């Protein structure tokens, strides 16, 4: 009996062991959701779907939809599906504050992601603190968000705008060490003023003999720039700095390029990467363009070697017939950060669904993966990441200009350290 029984039991035992092992290995992917988890994780997503800034917002919205669909197919956040509640950012801060309260108190979202306009992110931040809602700011660039007040529930997953300007100053000096004269063409409001101010101070700190020969201020999205272009052509600056964006930038390039503005001077467009797919052949070669101090670009580091980047670039192209631009990447950064924070909080809490406070704790100091590399959330709720900047060159393969001679700038060179105010830091820049 025993002799017969032994060989019989062994294969069964090993089969059982293998079965348990397979089950255990597949558990994290397909297992039951964490204890206390909601049926779905509701996240508000706010961006411009109408008006002049919709070029940014639609790109962000597309990314958000694509990314969340992908996650949900893969099982969501530890088995909990994500549901996006879309809100249009157009309509002014009072509408945004109303909508934010509705999202939180009526729709009962667990987190809000979004806000492109500085006025809106500044208006919403105190409300997020009041209602104690985890809020991830994805694009808004004003340094006042993280420097003016203590924030606990608000996180920003991208560099502030000073990074663009300082990066531009460093790139310009590397390309043209003997630059003598600079000029600015910016829109007359906080974003344009702050962008130019940081660029001017930074370049004059790094090279004190640089002179400003023209400072031009236009209306937001003016649509007609012939007078400014004439003035810039007459001033003949070595370098022109411009933070024009969206439709205004496209018009400026279309009006300025035929008159040789972009050839006579070295021109820097801080948000230029976003417009390349629309400008196509209208954007001349050799213009300095940055994806607003984003750590990469749809061709950089390298979609062929980097599976996450490849999936992102090809996924968006296939679904929306457009390659990801920087608002797309910033949306990815923000949503991926939120997901990573939830997952870390679940792991730290022993597999239970986390409370708001746990996610916040997990978010501080969190490092997570984005298509262009790892980024880390600092304790002051501000992400600091590398920047990329390059020169335009028409690319027949894509049908629009891509970036050549790309330079990646280290985070520490373009953003102030924790606890230091941006303006103090720019004013004390050293080579």
Partner 1 sequence: MEAKRLPLAPLVGAALLVAVPIVLPDWMKFIVTLAMAKFMAVLSVALFLRANQVTFGHAMFYAVGAYTVGFGAKWFGVRDAVLLVPLGALFGAAVAALVGLVMARYREVFFAMLNLAFSMMLYGAFLKLYWVTGGTDGLSAGIPKFLGYAPSREYLRDFLYYTALGVTGVVIYAVYRFLASPLGFYLKAMADNEIRIEYSGESVRHVMYVTYVLSGALGGVGGVLAAFTVGHIVPEYSFWIQSGEFVFVALLGGYGSAVGPLVGSIAFEFIRTYASKYFPNEWQMVLGIIMLAIILFRPGGLWTIYEGIAARFGRREREVERA
Q: Which residues bind partner 1 (CB under 8 A)?
A: 49-50, 86-88, 90-95, 97-99, 101-102, 104-107, 117-119, 122-123, 126-127, 130, 142, 144, 148-149, 188-191, 193
Q: Judged by CB, which is closer to partner 1: 98, or 369? A: 98
Q: Judged by CB, which is closer to partner 1: 112, or 289? A: 112
Bridge-partner residues for 212, per DSSP? 182
Bridge-partner residues for 391, per DSSP? 288, 404
Residue 74: count of CB within 10 angstroms of its CB: 9
- Residue 218 C-beta: closest distance to partner 1, Å: 12
Bridge-partner residues for 84, per DSSP? 43
Contact 380, 418 (CB under 8 A): yes
Q: Is 227 left (phi over 0), alpha (psi -120 to 50) or beta?
A: alpha
- Residue 111 C-beta: closest distance to partner 1, Å: 17
CA atoms within 13 A on the CB side of 22: 6
- Residue 85 C-beta: closest distance to partner 1, Å: 8
Q: Judged by CB, which is closer to partner 1: 127, or 202? A: 127
Residue 32 DSSP one-character state = P
Whether the link from the prior residue into 88 is cis, omega within 30° of 0, is no
- Residue 50 C-beta: closest distance to partner 1, Å: 7
Q: Judged by CB, which is closer to partner 1: 36, or 92? A: 92
Contact 154, 135 (CB under 8 A): yes
- Residue 105 C-beta: closest distance to partner 1, Å: 4
User: Residue for token digits 């978010």?
Assistant: 363
| Distances from the Cα of 56 to the Cα of 139, 214, 290, 322, 373, angstroms | 10, 29, 15, 13, 22
- Residue 417 C-beta: closest distance to partner 1, Å: 23
Q: Judged by CB, which is closer to partner 1: 94, or 209? A: 94
Q: Judged by CB, which is closer to partner 1: 19, or 92? A: 92
Q: Judged by CB, which is closer to partner 1: 93, or 351? A: 93
Contact 309, 370 (CB under 8 A): no
Bridge-partner residues for 267, per DSSP? 240
* Closest of 283, 211, 206, 209 to residue 244, by C-alpha: 283
Q: Judged by CB, which is closer to partner 1: 33, or 192? A: 192
Q: Is 171 exposed, middle or buried (0-12, 13-18, 19+ CB in 10 A)?
A: buried
- Residue 143 C-beta: closest distance to partner 1, Å: 10
Q: Is 196 left (phi over 0), alpha (psi -120 to 50) or beta?
A: alpha
Cα torsion 304, 307, 312, 313 to 10°: value is 10
- Residue 246 C-beta: closest distance to partner 1, Å: 15
Q: Judged by CB, which is closer to partner 1: 144, or 170? A: 144
- Residue 381 C-beta: closest distance to partner 1, Å: 17
């Amino acid at each position: 009996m025993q002799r017969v029984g032994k060989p019989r039991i062994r294969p069964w035992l090993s089969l059982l062991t293998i079965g348990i092992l397979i089950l255990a290995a597949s558990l994290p992917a397909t297992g039951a959701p964490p204890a206390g988890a909601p049926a779905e994780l509701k996240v508000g997503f706010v961006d411009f779907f109408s008006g002049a800034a919709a070029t940014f917002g639609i790109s962000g919205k597309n990314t958000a939809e694509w990314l969340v669909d992908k996650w949900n197919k893969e099982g969501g956040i530890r088995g909990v599906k994500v549901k996006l509640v879309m809100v249009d950012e157009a309509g002014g801060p009072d509408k945004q504050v109303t909508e934010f309260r509705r999202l939180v108190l009526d729709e009962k979202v667990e987190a809000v992601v979004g806000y492109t306009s500085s006025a809106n992110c500044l208006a919403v931040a105190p409300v997020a603190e009041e209602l104690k809602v985890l809020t991830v700011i994805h694009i808004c660039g004003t340094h006042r968000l993280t420097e003016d007040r203590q924030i606990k529930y608000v996180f920003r997953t991208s560099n502030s705008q000073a990074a663009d300007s300082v990066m531009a100053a460093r790139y310009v000096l590397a390309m043209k060490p003997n630059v003598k004269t600079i000029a600015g063409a910016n829109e007359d409001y906080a974003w344009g003023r702050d962008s130019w101010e940081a660029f001017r101070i930074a370049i004059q700190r790094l090279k004190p003999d640089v002179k400003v020969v023209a400072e031009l201020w236009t209306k937001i999205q003016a649509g007609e720039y012939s007078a400014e272009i004439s003035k810039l052509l007459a001033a003949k600056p070595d370098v022109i700095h411009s933070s024009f964006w969206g439709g205004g930038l496209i018009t400026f390039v279309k009006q300025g390029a035929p008159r040789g503005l972009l050839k006579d001077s070295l021109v820097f467009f801080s948000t230029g990467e976003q417009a390349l797919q629309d400008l196509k052949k209208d954007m001349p070669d050799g213009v300095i363009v940055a994806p607003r101090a984003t750590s990469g670009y749809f061709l950089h580091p390298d979609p062929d070697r980097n599976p996450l980047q490849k999936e992102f670039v090809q996924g968006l192209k296939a679904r929306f017939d457009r390659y990801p631009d920087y608002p797309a990447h910033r949306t990815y950064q923000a949503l991926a950060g939120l997901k990573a924070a939830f997952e870390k909080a679940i792991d730290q809490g022993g597999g239970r669904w986390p409370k708001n406070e746990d996610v916040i704790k997990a978010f501080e100091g969190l490092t997570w993966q984005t298509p262009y590399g790892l980024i880390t959330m600092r304790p002051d709720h501000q992400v600091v990441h590398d920047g990329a900047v390059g020169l335009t060159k028409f690319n027949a393969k894509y049908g629009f200009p891509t970036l050549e001679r790309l330079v990646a700038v280290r985070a520490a060179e373009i953003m102030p350290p924790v606890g230091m105010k941006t303006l103090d830091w720019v004013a004390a820049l050293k080579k």
